[in-house]
Each structure stands twice: as C-alpha cells, then as structure tokens.
Amino acid sequence: MEKKRWGFVGVDETNNGRFPLIYAAVFSNHFPDIAESEKLMVKRRRNHQEIYEKLTGKHYSFTIIQRDDLDLIDSHQVKGIALASLVSGIELEIPFRLYMDGALSERESDFIMSSLAGVTGIDRESINLYSGKDLDRKIKLVNIADETAHWLKNKRDLTNREKFKPLLRSMRV
C-alpha cells in the first residue's frame, strides 16, 4: 500500500509562556481546509468532543518542548526545529503548503525553510510557507492544529516531564 502524500500542513502551538510547549501539525489534501474564512473562527480551549471528527481524513503529529530544551538551541531556531520534527518521515506533495499561526521574523522564516528542506529533501522553492497573526482563526487547518495542540496539552501523560526526557520529543498518530 502506497503512503499518502499530504499537500497542506497547518501548524500551531500552545504557548502563553507556559511549558511544556506543544506544537501540533495537521496534514490535509482538502482545499476547503486552507480557504481563508470571511469571519474569524472560534478557538476551542475546552470540550474537545469534536476533535476526532475534525481530524477524520487527516493526519497529525506533535512535538513537545520543555523549558530546558531552550537552553540547548537559539530562540530563532525553536520553530524550525519543531517544524522539522513535525514533518520528518511524512510524505509531502511537491510543492506543499505550510500554514503557521503567528508572525515570523526573517531569521526564523529562513531557518524554518532550511530545516524543512533538510528534513524533507524538498527544495526551498517548493515549500510555500504562510504565517501571520490570527491564522488559527482564519484558516480551518490551522484552527484544527490549534485545537489539537490544546487538546493534547490537556492530556496529563503528555505533560509529565519525567515521561519525555529527550530533546524535542516527537510522536505521530
């Protein structure tokens, strides 16, 4: 059976200065998942009953970053390393589009592109990176990634620091 190739990736993370940080990526091939919404979507923080339905036909991965991890890498590299971890081993279309909530500095963006090219083997020119404020309220796929990250953060086993020792632990489901 041939592995599915994904064309769109939505990424968001839990933050607010609290650790652990959980980056979640949701993979899709459906154009409606990346259409910009005319009105801002709601960000769910509780009651994630519909998350399984929202993830149907999609794939997701996540990476956990502890405060100690930030002692080992430069701050402008965190997102690039997290994103590389999220897409590592995933079959992606060429080109593919990655949508990430939050503004990126030019330095962060450059490191992300280099990291993604390095881990996927896909030329930078074939990686379309879109980032910006409120993408988690404008793009459905990023909204689902936002909810997935918060849903995972609420799972006690995931935030148990003794259970996840290595740098930038990554899991796939």
Tell me if 146 sits within 8 A of 41, measured CB to CB.
Answer: no
| Positions of the chain with pLDDT lower than 50, given as ranges | 1, 164-169, 171-173
Instruction: Please tell me the distance from the alpha carbon of residue 172 to that of residue 164, in angstroms, as a whole number.
Output: 14
Residue 46: per-residue pLDDT: 64
Tell me if 65 sits within 8 A of 78, measured CB to CB.
Answer: yes
Residue 31: per-residue pLDDT: 96
Residue 2: per-residue pLDDT: 58
Q: Could you tell me the two tokens for 3?
A: 């592995």
**For the whole model, what pTM was predicted?**
0.87
Residue 152: per-residue pLDDT: 85
The CATH number that domain 8-172 falls under is: 3.30.420.10
Tell me if 16 sits within 8 A of 146, measured CB to CB.
Answer: no
Residue 166: per-residue pLDDT: 41
Residue 167: per-residue pLDDT: 39
β-partners of residue 172 are: 61
Instruction: Please tell me the distance from the alpha carbon of residue 62 to that of residue 149, in angstroms, as a whole number.
Output: 8
DSSP 8-state class, residue 58: -
